[in-house]
Amino acid sequence: MKTWFISDLHLDPQRPETTQQCLTFLEQIKEDAEALYILGDLFDYWIGDDLLNTPLGEPILSIIDAFKLLSNNGCTLYFAHGNRDFLIGEAFMQRIGGQLLDEHHVIDLYGTPTLIMHGDTLCTDDTDYQQLRTLLRNTEWQQAFLAKPLPQRIQEAQQLRAISKEKTEQKQENIMDVNQQQVEAVMQTFGVSQLIHGHTHRPATHTFELAGQTVTRIVLGDWYKQSHYLSFSSRVD
């Protein structure tokens, strides 16, 4: 049996091919998945779980059903918020049969203490983004947003996405990557030798020395051009 990790699918009804790739992936792992961790930005934006009770939620139902099938099949589903889908809530989790994770979550990955997270909080050089994040994660801001009519929320989410795209294009590449000191601090705080995250869309395995130990940081890739996933299995099987 395997534990799977995905992030940054950025599912969007405008790009049905990515949804199809996701459905194919979920079908493929069905037989050997004991856990699936979705480490954020599953959706390109998320305006509230109540969308699912309206016709606007219809393009997403195939994905929800596929996740639900997987959880019914005995695979435990975990979801960590990304910077795009931070409004996913308990109603969504119930629909897929999954569990919402805290911002930092430590698991025992077949014997290796592993910290999992979306990864945006590691990008501390991007002060502009961190300021925006503080606003968007504010409970009052979120409540006010969720109280707005759906069409208005969609419009505002699309505006935010456009602004983010424009700013991203202006920023230097290294500013949008993780800050190594932050990575080391967070790994030491949680006492792990392995970190798995997404967000930066720079898939890689980084190995470095930390407090006399060789540690690993694995970065998941996005699904813009192809599917990206990571799996671990116990050494025994």
Smallest gap, in angstroms, from Cβ of residue 30 to Mn ion? 27
User: Residues near 236 by Cβ (< 8 Å), separated by ≥ 6?
Assistant: none
228 binds Mn ion (CB under 5 A): no
- Say if CB 153 and CB 87 are below 8 A apart: no
Buried b (16+ CB within 10 A) or exposed e, 184-214: bebbeeeebebbbbbbbbbeeeeeeeeeeee
221 binds Mn ion (CB under 5 A): no
DSSP for residue 101: P
Query: Which single residue brings its beta carbon nearest to Mn ion?
Result: 199
121 binds Mn ion (CB under 5 A): no
177 binds Mn ion (CB under 5 A): no
Q: Give the per-residue contact string, 189-218, with Mn ion (x = CB under 5 A; - = no).
A: ----------x-------------------
Diameter of the chain measured on Cα atoms: 55
82 binds Mn ion (CB under 5 A): yes
How many residues sit close enough to Mn ion to count as binding (CB under 5 A)? 4
Stretch that binds Mn ion, among 12-20, 79-87, 137-145, 228-236 (CB under 5 A): 79-87
41 binds Mn ion (CB under 5 A): yes
Q: Which residues bind Mn ion (CB under 5 A)?
A: 41, 82-83, 199
